[in-house]
Amino acid sequence: MAKLPPRQRKRWRHEVASFGYALQGIREALLSEPHLRFHALATAAAVALGAWLGISRYDWALVALSIGAVWTAELMNTAVETIIDLVSPDFHPLAGRAKDVAAGAVLMTALAAVVVGLLVFGPPLWALLAR
């Protein structure tokens, strides 16, 4: 395999470092945000339940997309709140509104994930209980 030219090596190192920064951001959010820790526990519970119930690949896709959407919404909410706290340390109605809207996005995403969870996990759990 040919050696990469210096310019491409530098770009490759930059791209790899970007993943490290992203993982560091997730780590920081997990350490500082109680809601994200709750989502981490819910993720673990959903994965364990899916494995125990032996859900289909299609159902796994729905669960994975729901988990990813909730995590993305929560991380974006954290970013919005952090930026607002930086630029508007004192209360301002527009800052409060922006935070409320970002939190509302998380709530809507989480509610949609609950619906997916009920649709995916509900029937097999009901079948087990009906035995």
Catalytically active residues are: 74
Q: What is the DSSP string of the chain?
A: -PPPPHHHHHHHHHHHHHHHHHHHHHHHHHHH-HHHHHHHHHHHHHHHHHHHHT--HHHHHHHHHHHHHHHHHHHHHHHHHHHHHHH--S--HHHHHHHHHHHHHHHHHHHHHHHHHHHHHHHHHHHHHT-
